[in-house]
């Protein structure tokens, strides 16, 4: 993932948040070599927080950011049917995902506008 980011944007991200299944000393070492200052894994698996990130505050921010993304993905899968693509072929898949994401964003925007 970090190699693709660097290939697309020409530089590595400053911070990254990854699934706990990837937590290992080797992956932490590999993540930090291309210039990533903070690499947070959802589960520690023997890693200390300060080995992964510069401070507990940064760890909590990255953990919460990842949790927010996971919540959005979960909602897209449950409510908007992104657990499986129902339309045929690559163009159909792209249209299906695009329509679900736009619909989700319109729903969220509507909820934000209704909030007191």
Residues 75-112 pLDDT 10s: 988 888 887 777 788 998 889 889 989 999 999 999 99
Look over the chain and give the mean of its residue pLDDT values, rounded to a whole number: 90
Query: Residue 42: CB partners within 8 Å, gap ≥ 6?
Result: 17, 18, 19, 20, 23, 63, 66
Quote the DSSP letter at residue 38.
E
**Residue ranges of E strands in 3-112:** 15-18, 38-41
Q: CA–CA separation, 86 vs 43, rounded Å?
A: 34
- Which of 62, 61, 56, 57 is closest to 20 using CA atoms? 62
**In the chain, where the domains are located:** 2-79, 84-116
Helix axes 89-114, 56-79, angle to 10 degrees: 110
pLDDT tens digit string along 7-51? 999 988 999 999 989 999 999 999 887 789 999 998 888 899 999
- Count of H-run helices and E-run strands, the chain: 5, 2
């Amino acid at each position: 993932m970090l190699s693709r980011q660097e290939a697309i944007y020409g530089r590595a991200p400053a911070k990254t948040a990854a699934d706990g299944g990837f937590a290992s000393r080797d992956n932490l070492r590999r993540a930090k070599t291309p210039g990533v200052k903070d690499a947070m894994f959802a589960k520690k698996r023997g890693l200390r927080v300060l080995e992964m990130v510069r401070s507990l505050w940064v760890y909590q921010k990255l953990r919460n950011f990842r949790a927010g993304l996971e919540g959005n993905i979960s909602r897209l899968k449950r409510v908007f049917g992104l657990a499986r693509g129902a339309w045929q072929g690559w163009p159909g898949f792209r249209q299906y995902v695009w329509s679900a994401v736009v619909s989700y964003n319109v729903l969220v925007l509507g909820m934000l506008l209704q909030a007191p």
